[in-house]
Amino acid sequence: MTATDTYRRFERVDGVDETPRGLLASLHGEQLRVDVVRDDVVRVKISRGGRFDEEPTYAVCVDPLEGAPGFAVERGDGVVRLRTEALVLSLHLDPFHLDVHRPDGTPVVETAQDAQGRYWAYATLNDAFTVRRRCRHEDAIYGLGEKTGHQNRKGRDFTLWNTDVLSPDATGEFTAGRPGDDPRADPTSTEFDPYYVSIPFFYHQGHPAGGMSGSFVDNSYRGAYEFSHPEEYRIHFEGGQYTEYIFAGPSMPEILSAYTWLTGRTSPPPLWSLGYHQCRWFDYSQDAVEALAQRHRDLEIPCDALWLDIEYMDGYRVFTWNTESFPDAPGMLKRLQDSGFRVITIIDPGVKHDPGYWVYDQALERDVLCRTEGGDVYIGQVWPGDTAFPDFATEEARAWWGELNAAHVQSGLAGIWNDMNEPATGNIDPGRMRFDHGTQSHERFHNQYALLMAMGTTQGLLEAMPDRRTFVLSRAGFAGIQRYAANWMGDNVSRWDHLWLSIPMATGFGVSGQAFVGADIGGFAGNSQAELYLRWMQYGVLTPFCRNHSGIGNVDQYAWAWGQTVQDLVREALRLRYRLLPYIYATFITASETGAPVQRPLVFDYQDDPLVRDIDDEYLFGPDLLVAPVVEPGQTARQVYLPAGDWYDWNSGQRHAGGSFALVPTPMEHIPVFARAGSVIPMWPEAPATTAGYHPRTVELHLFVPATDGAHTSTLHEDDGLTFAAGEGKRYCTAFTVTRSGSRVEVLAEVEGEGYPEFARESFRLVVRGATPERVRIDGDVVELDGHSVTFANAGTGFTAELDLPPSA
């Protein structure tokens, strides 16, 4: 017997009425409501105590019912059906169960039956509830955000409860009682669960057809997803109401686009945030920070951001500086900014319980701290010792927190790093922390705490720098966190298996709506070593967020820490990232428009290929680059699966046919990277030391010649990289359509936007990779090739390039 077997199942619908948006049914003294959100999305809600909670969390950022999709209601013998162009929802009355299919009859969700034939459409006990759905043993499951293990979640169970993974006090309940050989008994294992971020959104891919459906349960209480049962999956939440958005799909990009329409998309980032970030938990002095910056410049190691961990504060009091170590923080920040460095400081939610400390006193005066049921200020144990926590569930606390952040960045900071926001409370149980002036349970807001903190932080940054895009990094999060912050993957370990783990963890984030993610390069806990660090750096430069970070007391983990050879190879890896920034930036802009991930699993683009469902050690970086990191020591070659199409080895230039495996050398100089045939990869002609003030006069367009007839589109997005002016048309967005017909290849460039003051480009350099054209024409005029490239004047206008290839190409 499982814990939910004793729950009260809802077994019979007493009546069904049609509403302007769908259906309203009565059952077991409650109401079930079906709302048509879009043709391909329905929302199903069940009341508690006869009332609906219309805003169960802060995840949804639009009015789901703002549109007016058409639907029809049909009544049959014991069933009421709601039909749209993309789905058919069947509400069976007695016994009650709810199924959704596509018009062709393929399943989206189907209620599961137990061994006695009883349906489990919904069951509840003491505010908890569960639903059970049918699946097949061969099906695949993706999503749920930041989870360990393989990207295909089938066969495993997961808990949604934001957890400080390396804190024994936080992980103890999840490791207790497990045998020593169970990997989940060890919080540092690649199977431990739960993690820092909880996103109750997943995809179910049916076998063998490959169609996908999606589910988002808008509930922030502790949740459990059981995918270990061969023929069903189970969803369980310990409180709150049942509110589920069901996505008919059938493609993963369609579902993700709809989900991120609901919960928001990653905002266009400031360009500098896509550069290289150097971070370390270390007791730096002001002089040491400036020396660290200068060493990057002296060694010609590109870098845009330096980070300060908790030691910069006065006794770990947030929004303070240790004035002995940093006697002139504003002056330091100004000098670093003049050298092209942005500086970001950590800010924890914990406020030192210290009467006389101005932040604590102000929090008491404004009544913006979490309270206990009895009305006391809740106290936990974090870095400063006794610690109080802002009540981010209230608008007043978020506004106050925003004011503090606004004042903090006025010293010259570029962004904020939110840590310890699960919330981490040390050896004090967080359960007594209550919200909304003590009226709301901890369980309702635990998983939302980081989201609400990021809301307040972003609000403050926008008030301090209203003309600047914000940058906030958060350790924890919930559905919708992507609207306000990037996520890193928390306190990882300097081990090869953690390098591997960061790949499926990042792609899981990506298909769950969070495009701006990255792991601590080299590992945070423990001592890294030369080969691991180098391989992690070669991989990390091809991830959305590129930050080197390590813990206090560890060996040095700087680019130069392992001598000249590693230093030179790290420099080359970083130079590749900086040269690729036009491509990376364009990919982020697409993510902000469609929700498409930057680092994405192969299944996102190739869900009809059964081989990709279980590939966890390679990924697509944007739409046109395939990356296969080295995840084992001493590896001199590795197998890479190349999906449909043709692919060029970035390093050797060799073309490979897709739908096949390739054995690729992995010398210490680089890891395998492939470019899609037919793509145009925009690149800077050189790697600048910093993105600050860099506006090149020439941009390279690397054309990977298509091997077969067809068309492919790529993009270049140019704007000032800092402000919101691009949203008002101050940009150039160029779409490149590459078409091959026989031995002729055409590149059609179409431009949208009205430009911007900093725009300095005067020419394109078209670099042809994969063939040597016999003749090239730009807008009808024959131009002379310089080896494999041709340079032509262009300052923000469209063009047509025509390439005549030799018959053998």
What would the pLDDT profile of 190-210 be if each residue is shown by its tens digit? 999 999 999 999 999 999 889
At 135-172, the pLDDT tens digits run 999 999 999 999 999 999 999 999 999 999 999 999 99
Mean pLDDT of 490-514: 98
Mean pLDDT of 683-695: 98
Cis omega (within 30 of 0) on the bond before 597?
no
CA-CA-CA-CA dihedral for 43, 46, 47, 48, to nearest 10: -130
Q: Is residue 802 scored above 90 in pLDDT? A: yes
At 398-408, the pLDDT tens digits run 999 999 999 99
Kindly indicate the confidence band of residue 1, based on its pLDDT and cuts at 50, 70 and 90: low
The pLDDT, as a whole number, for residue 772 is 94
CB-count burial class (<10 Å; 0-12, 13-18, 19+) for 78 = exposed
CA 249 to CA 800: how far, in whole Å?
36
Q: Is residue 621 scored above 90 in pLDDT? A: yes
Looking up tokens 């909670």 gives 53
At 539-591, the pLDDT tens digits run 999 999 999 999 999 999 999 999 999 999 999 999 999 999 999 999 999 99
Q: Is residue 737 scored above 80 in pLDDT? A: yes
* Residue 691 region by backbone torsions, left for phi larger than 0, else alpha for psi between -120 and 50, else beta: alpha
Kindly indicate the confidence band of residue 26, based on its pLDDT and cuts at 50, 70 and 90: very high
Of how many residues is the chain composed? 809
CA 631 to CA 620: how far, in whole Å?
16
Kindly indicate the confidence band of residue 2, based on its pLDDT and cuts at 50, 70 and 90: confident
CB-count burial class (<10 Å; 0-12, 13-18, 19+) for 2 = exposed
Kindly indicate the confidence band of residue 56, based on its pLDDT and cuts at 50, 70 and 90: very high
CA 423 to CA 210: how far, in whole Å?
39
Question: Are 228 and 155 contacting, i.e. CB atoms less than 8 angstroms apart?
Answer: yes
Helix (H) or strand (E) holding 460: helix 449-464
CA 379 to CA 386: how far, in whole Å?
6
The pLDDT, as a whole number, for residue 404 is 98
pTM, to two decimals: 0.98
At 293-352, the pLDDT tens digits run 999 999 999 999 999 999 999 999 999 999 999 999 999 999 999 999 999 999 999 999
Average pLDDT, the chain: 97
The pLDDT, as a whole number, for residue 807 is 84
Helix (H) or strand (E) holding 301: none
At 750-799, the pLDDT tens digits run 999 999 999 999 999 999 999 999 999 999 999 999 999 999 999 999 99
| Count of C-beta atoms within a 10 Å radius of residue 526 | 18
| Count of alpha carbons within 13 angstroms of residue 650, beta-carbon side | 20
Percent of the chain, pLDDT > 90?
Answer: 98
The pLDDT, as a whole number, for residue 223 is 98
Alpha helix (H) residue ranges in 511-562: 530-540
The pLDDT, as a whole number, for residue 443 is 98
244: three-class secondary structure by DSSP: strand
What is the widest separation between alpha-carbon atoms in the chain?
83
| The two three-digit tokens of residue 195, written as one number | 């993690």
Residues 6+ apart with CB under 8 A from 72: 82, 83
Kindly indicate the confidence band of residue 736, based on its pLDDT and cuts at 50, 70 and 90: very high
CA 455 to CA 137: how far, in whole Å?
41
| Count of alpha carbons within 13 angstroms of residue 258, beta-carbon side | 25
The pLDDT, as a whole number, for residue 808 is 77
Positions marked active-site: 419, 422, 491
Mean pLDDT of 213-220: 98
CA 213 to CA 206: how far, in whole Å?
8
